[in-house]
Structure 1
């Protein structure tokens, strides 16, 4: 069970790193090909397997904590997880900073006032942090320093991560809105066609 949990967490962090790299490449207008899909899939699924396998091979019997199905702090296997968290925070922070810099350098934002630019930057951070896992900064600080306020912030932000992703990256996505609009219009057309046929059938019957 510990192996499965460790793999799932590591895979989640690797996919968040992939998302950060993808955003960075998109901001630089990279031409995405199939090889990038293979590379991203390898980072998201294969790299975590290697990390977990090596960790288990190194720590062996001391890999799991005695009382819980999680990594052991006594043997030091927990630091493998900490390293993954730190790697995610560092890479995605750099990617986010680069994306915001590119965003602010756009022609439409160059003439804006500094306050407006700051607002745009804050909005970008709030929109992107759920899919980049930057809320784990609070979790890492809470785990290493035992600061209760960071624990509370981590629980709040990380607990709402799925809600943020749903609101900002699904329901607020232009492609999703367009698809939902098409489905709604198709349903309306179907209902109208059905009513028209029903009305025609009644008219013919009365004749």
Structure 2
């Protein structure tokens, strides 16, 4: 332990050359803001700096990442220094191990034994030096994380597409819900009730998704956790209602089953809203002891900058719950779509109308069913392991506007039913 007196600089920082103090060339340079010592008596104005020789005790919680710098702990004994206006600055010498290194300044959350980047900004100065600025004090290091081959320009374009699509989807999902509320005849239709339930799930998903990046910038963990939980619950509800759409379609067209199940819609609602609530509720119980929801970052390949958003922070949860759940729904819905499509085109042979007209109508029906059953979400499988911008753009366009397509489907099917009723009425009068 060295006890030294260090004077502050004119810009309000207390500098410390840890490499000189600890006789270690890999130790970082540190600038501690004077703000850290406000409201602290002169006798308590001390700062502790620890540079660890070994990183072994900090390897818990590493997910697809490697510590490539010394771990340094900076604390004011007896005081919890957080929410600094003038950030703590640390310049880390790093051990570059690959040309595709992606740097991320992070701190070690000792309560949950995991690394997080909340409140830290990463700025590489060179290949071997990284500047970290953080608004709190604890144990810090530079991590090399798996690079995401999405450059800044492409990310910005896809973000605009997603936000525009989600806004459009949210507006038309709201229209679907409102029209259902004011139309008493629509409320009697089970199919329409299922469509509206899916629209409601999409509405919540779109709104919470658009708040995700904004919530991450607040650096308030509780807010980000709330948004992440809302997104996760809404997403699982969407998948569940898509599966219900497929089940109802099968009973309606394939089995030609006259649905007279007692409290049929109530039971479907318990499944559509209850199963996701049960899954998310179990994860929230886990979250109390292990961080499941919070700030997640994606690194842009051309700048090494990170974009933070609120989502599930545990990779195991992502694969065991989200992806596994969707795979089951996707396979079930795909089978139903194939069976229904074959039935539709088989009936075309017995139709006396011009073949080109019926083919176009049937193809449009199948495309509408693809949106209704969420099969376009399967585009995500084609981006696994690599970046395909064409697939990513199609994924953003189709899935962010799903609420709009469902609104069109409800309008078109409602119009078709009205025309059929008018035709039957005319035939009866004749």
Q: Above 0.5 in TM-score?
A: yes
Deviation at 1:9, TM superposition (A): 0.9
Deviation at 1:157, TM superposition (A): 1.2
1-side partners of 2:370 and 2:313: how far apart?
Answer: 29
Per-residue CA deviation, residues 37-94 of structure 1 (Å, 9 max, x unaligned), is: 23211220111111212334456523125443211254x1111111222122111111
**8 Å Cα contact 1:17-1:88 kept in structure 2:** yes
Highest Rg: 1 or 2? 2
The 10-residue stretch of structure 1 (146-155 or 136-145) with the greater mean CA deviation from structure 2: 136-145
Deviation at 1:16, TM superposition (A): 1.0
**8 Å Cα contact 2:244-2:272 kept in structure 1:** yes
> Which residue is equivalent to 1:85?
326
**8 Å Cα contact 1:14-1:44 kept in structure 2:** yes
> Which residue is equivalent to 2:304?
none
Alignment of 1:115-194 (within 5 A): 122-142=363-383, 145-174=386-415
1-side partners of 2:240 and 2:388: how far apart?
Answer: 26
Deviation at 1:160, TM superposition (A): 2.8
**8 Å Cα contact 2:292-2:314 kept in structure 1:** no
Stretches of structure 1 that go unaligned for 5 or more consecutive residues are 182-207
Alignment of 1:70-109 (within 5 A): 70-74=311-315, 76-79=316-319, 80-106=321-347, 108-109=348-349
- Structure with more of its chain in strand, by fraction: 2
> Which residue is equivalent to 2:229?
3
2-side partners of 1:78 and 1:26: how far apart?
Answer: 34
1:46 aligned onto 2:271: no
Change (3 A) 1:144 1:41: farther
2-side partners of 1:43 and 1:175: how far apart?
Answer: 30
Per-residue CA deviation, residues 1-44 of structure 1 (Å, 9 max, x unaligned), is: 12222111101111111111111110021121233223211220
After TM superposition, the score normalised by the length of structure 2 is 0.36
Deviation at 1:95, TM superposition (A): 1.1
How many residues are treated as equivalent by the alignment? 175
Instruction: Compute the RMSD of aligned alpha carbons.
Output: 2.9
Change (3 A) 1:118 1:83: farther
The 10-residue stretch of structure 1 (53-62 or 150-159) with the greater mean CA deviation from structure 2: 53-62
- Structure with more of its chain in helix, by fraction: 1
> Which residue is equivalent to 2:251?
25
Alignment of 1:50-69 (within 5 A): 50-58=278-286, 60-67=289-296, 68-69=309-310
